[in-house]
């Protein structure tokens, strides 16, 4: 049984409830650490004054949500992406909040391939969080907002970026930077290297072009990588 079908009977019994927290994140396709992505419980929220669901395999929450903070997925009422990020922050470390935030605001318009549009633009996400007061976990989200970067393509890229930022001798890793040729045209796009090889994607225009760049333009940093802690 998929997640949508698992949730539907509970909303049929509690039509005023909304799927929230980690379950909403999974339905939105947001990256989560494996401990939450593979959990066997459903998170449901109801307004204050309503009884919390105490059914087996259900975690009940109380949230007061505006209509703008809700969305519909396959006919199910779900917290919207920005609200989900705020609520699930209480279940995540700061690094994990940043990883999900980078995914939400990821956007780029490169000279190849289709453009990538954000799930929520950074300024819209910032305005949503800044408008919240006396809401659980809003301080963690505000801290994370200062460390989000538009253009990150994957959780390992965010983890690498954050790791490099902890080294005072390293400049900030800026995602999706175009290295231009003498005419000013993008020649190759900077991206992380995994396992000693560039990712197999058209975003990199071939190792030959990298080799053709002046040596002062290239530096290889090898970082040990293990199994990703995140999944969507």
Model pLDDT for residues 14-64, shown as the tens digit of each residue? 999 999 999 999 999 999 999 999 999 999 999 887 766 677 889 999 999
Give the ranges where the chain is alpha helix by DSSP (H).
Answer: 3-13, 21-28, 34-37, 81-88, 94-105, 122-130, 138-145, 155-165, 207-212
CA distance 103 to 232: 11
Query: Within 13 Å of residue 171, how many CA atoms lie on the same side as its CB?
Result: 3
Torsion sign over Cα 130, 84, 158, 162: positive
pLDDT of residue 181: 65
Looking at residue 202, what is its pLDDT? Answer: 34
Confidence band, pLDDT 50/70/90 cuts, at residue 1: low
Q: Give the range among 139-148, 171-180, 189-198 with minimum mean pLDDT.
A: 189-198
Region for 154 from its dihedrals, namely left if φ exceeds 0, alpha if ψ lies in -120 to 50, beta otherwise: beta
* pLDDT at 200 (0 to 100): 35
The alpha carbon of residue 126 and the mean position of all alpha carbons in its chain are separated, in whole angstroms, by 14
Beta bridge partners, 193, equal 198
Residue 132: both structure tokens together: 């919240």
**Is pLDDT at 155 greater than 60 in this prediction?**
yes
**Is the Cβ–Cβ distance between 108 and 115 less than 8 Å?**
yes
List, in order, residues 6 or more apart from 136 with CB less than 8 Å away. Answer: 87, 90
Q: Which residues contact 181 (CB under 8 A, 6 or more apart)?
A: 187
Q: Are 145 and 132 in contact (CB under 8 A)?
A: no
Which is more confident, 13 or 167?
13
Question: Greater confidence, 102 or 180?
Answer: 102
pLDDT digits (tens, 9 = 90+) for 81-134: 999 999 999 999 999 999 999 999 999 876 666 778 999 999 999 999 999 998
Cα–Cα distance, 220 to 63 (Å, whole number): 48
Which has the closest alpha carbon to 209: 189, 230, 229? 189
Q: Is the confidence at residue 3, as pLDDT, over 50?
A: yes
Over residues 72-81, the mean pLDDT reads 97
How far out from the chain centre does Cα 86 lie?
12
The DSSP 8-state label assigned to residue 15 in this structure reads: T
Question: Over the stretch 186-230, which tens digit does the pLDDT of each residue have?
Answer: 655 555 544 433 333 333 444 444 455 455 454 544 444 455 566
């Amino acid at each position: 049984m998929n997640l949508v079908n698992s949730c539907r009977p509970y909303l049929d019994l509690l039509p005023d409830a909304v799927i929230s927290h980690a379950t909403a994140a999974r339905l939105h396709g947001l990256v989560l650490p494996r401990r939450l992505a593979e959990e066997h419980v459903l998170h449901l929220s109801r307004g204050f004054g309503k009884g919390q669901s105490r059914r087996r395999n259900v975690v009940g929450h109380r949230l007061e949500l505006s209509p703008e903070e809700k969305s519909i997925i396959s006919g199910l009422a779900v917290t919207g992406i920005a609200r989900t990020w705020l609520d699930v922050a209480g279940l995540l470390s700061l690094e994990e909040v940043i990883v999900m935030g980078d995914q939400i605001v990821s956007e780029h318009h490169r000279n190849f391939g289709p453009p990538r549009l954000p799930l929520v633009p950074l300024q819209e996400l910032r305005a949503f969080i800044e408008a919240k007061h006396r809401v659980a976990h809003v301080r963690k989200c505000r801290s994370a907002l200062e460390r989000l970067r538009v253009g990150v393509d994957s959780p390992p890229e965010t983890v690498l970026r954050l790791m490099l930022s902890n080294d005072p001798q390293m400049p900030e890793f800026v995602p999706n930077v175009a290295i231009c040729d003498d005419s000013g045209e993008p020649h190759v796009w900077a991206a992380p290297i995994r396992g000693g090889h560039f990712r197999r994607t058209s975003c990199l225009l071939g190792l030959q072009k990298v080799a053709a760049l002046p040596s002062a333009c290239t530096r290889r940093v090898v970082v040990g990588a293990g199994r990703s802690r995140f999944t969507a």
